[in-house]
Amino acid sequence: QVQLVESGGGLVRPGGSLRLSCTVSGNIYSAYTMGWYRQAPGQQRELVATITDSRITNYKDSVKGRFTISRDNAKNTAYLQMNDLKPEDTAVYYCNYGRPWERPGVYWGQGTQVTVSS
């Protein structure tokens, strides 16, 4: 019904930047929340950032001031701009699409690897 396709991951040195994108297709609800979650090896998946249809944002404390989530509704695309990357940011990053009654949403992207290493 709904598909999410992510891109933009890669290998970057500490202090570097990366921009992830996520495009949603299918039967898209009139209002929805987009989110980015990440999962490091041996760890549980955790919330990184969310943005509502009205562009209210929420961030994990450790990424505040470094990461910015945004969206382009005309393109059904969400972005995660990641600056000043640190080794602890290394993880697989997953895009999430949530209808108003879903926290988080039930639809996920395929995941994109972000590796921060010297």
In the prediction, which pLDDT does 55 show? 95
Q: Per-residue confidence at 40, pLDDT binned at 50, 70, 90?
A: very high
**Confidence check: pLDDT of 30 > 90:** no
- pLDDT by residue (tens digit) across 56-93? 999 999 999 999 999 999 999 999 999 999 999 999 99
Separation of alpha carbons 106 and 104, rounded Å = 7
The pLDDT score that the predictor gives to residue 10 is 98
SS (H, E, C) the chain: CEEEEEECCEEECCCCCEEEEEEEEECCCCCCEEEEEEECCCCCCEEEEEECCCCCEEECHHHCCCEEEEEECCCCEEEEEECCCCHHHCEEEEEEEECCCCCCCCEECCCEEEEECC
pLDDT tens figures, 92-111: 999 999 998 998 999 999 99
- For the cut 90, the answer to whether the pLDDT of residue 118 exceeds it is yes
Beta strand pairing status for 112-116 and 10-12? parallel
Predicted confidence at residue 49, as pLDDT, reads: 98
pLDDT digits (tens, 9 = 90+) for 42-53: 999 999 999 999
User: At residue 37, does pLDDT exceed 90?
Assistant: yes
Q: What is the pLDDT of residue 33?
A: 97
